[in-house]
Amino acid sequence: MLAALQPWLGELAALAALLAAALYLWFSRRYAYWANRGVAHRPPTFPFGNIKQSVLGRTRFEFVVQDIYNELRGEKCFGMYGFSRPLIVLRDPDMIRLVLVKDFDAFNHRGVPYNEQEPLNHNLFFLTGAKWKRLRSKMTPTFTTGKLKMMCQRMQECGRELVEVLAEAASQGQVVEVRELSARYATDVIATVAFGVECNCQRNPEAEFRQWGRKVFEPTLKSRFAMLMRDFLPAVARLFRIGAGTEEVSQFFRNMVRETVEYREKNGVTRSDFMQLLIQLKNTGFVEDEKAAARPEQSKDADNWKLSLDDVAAQAFIFFVAGFETSSTTMSLALYELAINPDVQRRLQEELDATLHKNAGQLTYEAISEMPYLDKVVAETLRKYPPGSILVRKCMRQYQFPNGGPLIDEGITVVIPTYAMHHDPDYFPEPDRFDPERFSEEQKAKIPPYVYLPFGEGPRNCIGMRLGLLQTKIGLAYLMSKYEVQRCEHTKVPIKFSNVSFIPMPAGGVQLRLAKRA
């Protein structure tokens, strides 16, 4: 057998060498992209480009970007490569403003590959062009102040439940894992506000909704690799059918939404929640009271367009994805910083006590809104630990940056390094220090525009920003009004982050001691 193949082995070896040489030459040509345009860059390594450490799960992508960001200080932008794909990273606030706001039409695509055949992907995060614009205009009225006040009542119930559930642990001074604690609170909030489901995760950690939430968010090296392949080598991902592996999750959430909508419509049930607003968009095409205020320039087609049931499921799902993990991680990291900085915790509790006294012991929407130090604590948490640690946009046409900036081609990925800017001492002195006073009115005025971007900026900023902030503030306010958190022997300082999670997530959780306030 071997003898029969012998004549072919030399030819096969030569062919393999030829293919390897061709591949190397092709990569080398691709790796000349930024040099040919005179853009500063770190030399890439075949075949990973500049993301080898991230691909191998040794560090997070935003930390790779931050490392190059710090190395190339003084540059307004710099180039990178994700495998063979050129990326341009912006560090100049004026260039960031052009991409996110002024020339938004040239960068209105997030540049994130997605499967259009998956119904849950037809949501505000993934959609582009006219479909995104139409849906965004329909969804915007669901996040007005009036609608937030309506949903706030549901969140307050979850906040009170949080206090009750922790009473025994606090009385005994137990060590608790506050990331799981925050996740269960956030699951209860999102389940009731987005899906109209009372899942009681705070009392039952293994409730079905919590289990499905874990399937969506629990990171693995496999899921991280799949994401990187879809982002940087989409053709290879398609060839080998590397998908998100979320078919079961999709079926669960679509069934839940269908059953909820059918039950409400059949029985005439209405609730003060996000799902009810989506049902209005499905049945009439408008959120209640929106039609009278609709812009006169809207076309008749846009005026009559309604959400399908799958559209409702897609928006409810992205509401869950965006509102659950980001809010729960922010809340747990805020508690971590309060435990590490007891002076900050005491000042926050003093503000809480004064607010409760003024409002007859009630933490209403108005009461939460009137707490400036709570707002500073959350803002500083989002500065130090931004959930969207990078922002990505895709160039939709050849674009020339002004004032001697580079010319980039259609399809080039633009990266805005949120994490790196939030930790840049030129913008935030002593960036590793937790200092809520950075966000006093006087200090905020000194922060240049477009360097603090926890929720993005421009037309594609986070539509649910105010709701996410409210959810986090309510959880912190209820918990801090009754208890205090303390550093213990299990608290990891400094915090270590998972190298494979989609957003910066503490590896191994956050262990803190819980105690009743004196």
Evaluate if residue 301 carries a pLDDT over 50: no
HSE-up of 300 (CA within 13 Å, CB side)? Answer: 0
- Ramachandran area for residue 96 (φ above 0: left; ψ -120 to 50: alpha; else beta): alpha
DSSP secondary structure letter of residue 164: H
What does the CA dihedral 392, 397, 398, 404 come to, rounded to 10 degrees?
A: -50
Please indicate if the annotation marks 77 as binding a ligand: no
Confidence of residue 130 (pLDDT cuts 50, 70, 90): confident
Evaluate if residue 121 carries a pLDDT over 50: yes
Q: Which of 378, 345, 506, 394 is nearest to 452 (CA)?
A: 378
Mean pLDDT, range 145-152, rounded to an integer: 88
Contact 492, 512 (CB under 8 A): no
CB atoms inside a 10 Å sphere around CB 286: 19
Confidence of residue 271 (pLDDT cuts 50, 70, 90): confident
C-alpha distances (whole Å) from 483 to each of 137, 352, 371, 479 are 42, 12, 18, 6
Confidence of residue 240 (pLDDT cuts 50, 70, 90): very low
State how far the Cα of 98 lies from the Cα of 105, in Å rounded to an integer. Answer: 10
Mean pLDDT, range 147-161, rounded to an integer: 91
State how far the Cα of 161 lies from the Cα of 513, in Å rounded to an integer. Answer: 19
Enter the pTM of the model.
Answer: 0.90
Evaluate if residue 233 carries a pLDDT over 60: no
Helices (H) and strands (E) in the chain, counts: 22, 9
Q: 330-334, 383-387, 434-438, 462-466: which has the minimum mean pLDDT?
A: 462-466
Q: Would you give the end-to-end CA distance of the chain in angstroms? A: 84
| pLDDT at residue 242, rounded to an integer | 44
State how far the Cα of 231 lies from the Cα of 112, in Å rounded to an integer. Answer: 6
CA 359-440-471 angle, 5° bins: 50
Evaluate if residue 245 carries a pLDDT over 60: no
Evaluate if residue 95 carries a pLDDT over 80: yes
Give the tens place of pLDDT for each residue, 55-68.
Answer: 888 999 999 999 99
Evaluate if residue 317 carries a pLDDT over 70: yes
Amino acid letter for position 387? P
Q: Name the average pLDDT for the chain.
A: 87
Give the tens place of pLDDT for each residue, 25-36.
Answer: 888 888 999 999
Mean pLDDT, range 143-168, rounded to an integer: 91
| pLDDT at residue 294, rounded to an integer | 47
pLDDT over 90 for what percent of the chain? 55
Give the tens place of pLDDT for each residue, 346-373.
Answer: 999 999 999 999 999 899 999 999 999 9
Q: What domains are there in the chain, each with its CATH number?
A: 51-516 (1.10.630.10)
Phi and psi angles of residue 60, each rounded to the nearest 5 degrees, phi first = -90, 155
pLDDT over 70 for what percent of the chain? 88
